[in-house]
Amino acid sequence: MAQVASDLPADKPKVDPYDCTLLGSGIPNYVIDPSSLENAKFPSLDNPEILEMLQSAAKLDDKMKVDRQVNLFHNGVGVSGGYDKEAAWIQTYSGRRFNPTNPNPDAVVIQDIAHALSMQCRFTGHTKKFYSVAQHSVYVSHICNEEDALWGLLHDASEAYLVDVPRPLKRSGKFQAYLDYEAQMQEAICKRFGLPIQEPPSVKKADTKLLATEARDLMSPLHSDWVNRATPLPFTIDAWEPQKAKNMFMQRFYELIGADPSNYEHYLKYENAR
């Protein structure tokens, strides 16, 4: 049975209510009992009607539509400029040289983010089937508050350039340099897409609720000590192939910036021609 905060000894460390890790004390905030879910049947989250129900119509005012130009986000700089030639760099999907330790916001382009996240698996790959960060990001954008949806879509975008590190390592006290680079990268991405630097609370809540759902549907039977305070969503997640995850990510991006539907069709033609 889960222990509520009032049950915990006074000397136990306080935790973020949306922290999904095992506590250092070994006392969980909330434990999902796998046996309670053995016979549960949920409709698939990969369903247009359910996605429509989860999302509010994402409408942006005319000024935002002007400020967030699709071509600008697609083209950017960095193929032949926009990077420090003396610093270490990586080549991105779009062919850019990119400095992950000193990112130029203008060299960040949406197709690089969508592609890289579609090729990276959640849970460090320890899932029953491949499940991409891109698909996870699409779902977060539907579940969080409407006004935070673009932040939700891009909340893990730094992983497109840095990949992710398992949380136990991040919190080991020996990965501060990575955490600094991660924060710097996410700040560059926020500047690129005109987003506030701080992650909105609704995105964190949606991320946590989805984590519980993903663990239920995509991992092996959960260990009894697996911790998550959030209640899983009443929908089943069906994992997408990387190309579908990438396309859905791009489609959601265009929707959220108020782009004309033809922009997505143009993207598909570009993808098919590669």
Quote the pLDDT of residue 72. 66
Quote the pLDDT of residue 83. 78
Quote the pLDDT of residue 118. 98
pLDDT single digits (tens) 202-241: 999 999 999 999 998 998 877 777 766 678 898 999 999 9
Residues of the chain with pLDDT below 50 are 1-36, 56-68
- pTM here is 0.76
Neighbours of 166 (CB within 10 A): 12
Quote the pLDDT of residue 32. 43
Quote the pLDDT of residue 166. 82
pLDDT single digits (tens) 104-138: 998 999 999 999 999 999 999 999 999 999 999 99
Q: Using the Cα atoms of residue 38, residue 213, residue 132 and residue 161 in order, give the sign of their dihedral.
A: negative
Helix (H) or strand (E) holding 90: strand 90-91
CATH superfamily of 43-221+233-273: Hypothetical protein af1432 (1.10.3210.10)
Are the beta carbons of 171 and 82 closer than 8 angstroms? no
**Coil, helix or strand at residue 173:** coil
Token digits for 141?
């954008």
Which of these, 274, 272, 273, 267, lies nearest to 250 by C-alpha position?
267
User: What are the sequence ranges of the domains in the chain?
Assistant: 43-221+233-273
Q: Concatenated DSSP letters for 104-162?
A: -GGG--HHHHHHHHHTSBSGGG-SSS--BHHHHHHHHHHHS-GGGHHHHHTTTTTHHHH
